[in-house]
Amino acid sequence: MSTQPEPDRISRVVRNYFLAIRAMDAEAFANCFAEDGTTHDPVGTPAITGRAGLREFFASICKNFKSVGLTEDAVFVAGNGAAVKWTGKGTSHSGKEVRFEGIDVIEINQDGKIQNVHAYWNPAEMIAQL
């Protein structure tokens, strides 16, 4: 029996992660992760670990927007994870539109939950648009 999730299972986990982001659903976002799952968002900032921290992190982002979401442009599944090139779009509460891009490298554990996300993007590009 393999210790790695199958490609279809990885694709479903990735799809659910991005659906939760587009729905601005902090609970669904956190539940995509393992109990001790971690995000480095963006890479180079302190890691956020555990579902409670992940829920709070995502809710803190959403509170700044009327709508915000990431759309998968390309998904590359390999081994126990995926690399995803995405485009982000959002509207602030004041009506300003933002557009930004990045790549998430996502590692899935054997239980089919996200163990790690490394998000490569530059928040300053988005903030400058607000």
Domains and CATH numbers, the chain: 7-127 (3.10.450.50)
Provide the residue-wise pLDDT of the chain in tens; the chain has 130 residues: 456 779 999 999 999 999 999 999 999 999 999 999 999 999 999 999 999 999 999 999 999 999 999 999 999 999 999 999 999 999 999 999 999 999 999 999 999 999 999 999 999 999 999 8
CA distance 77 to 111: 17
| Contact between residue 7 and residue 108 where contact means Cβ atoms under 8 Å apart | no
Letter for the amino acid at 45? T
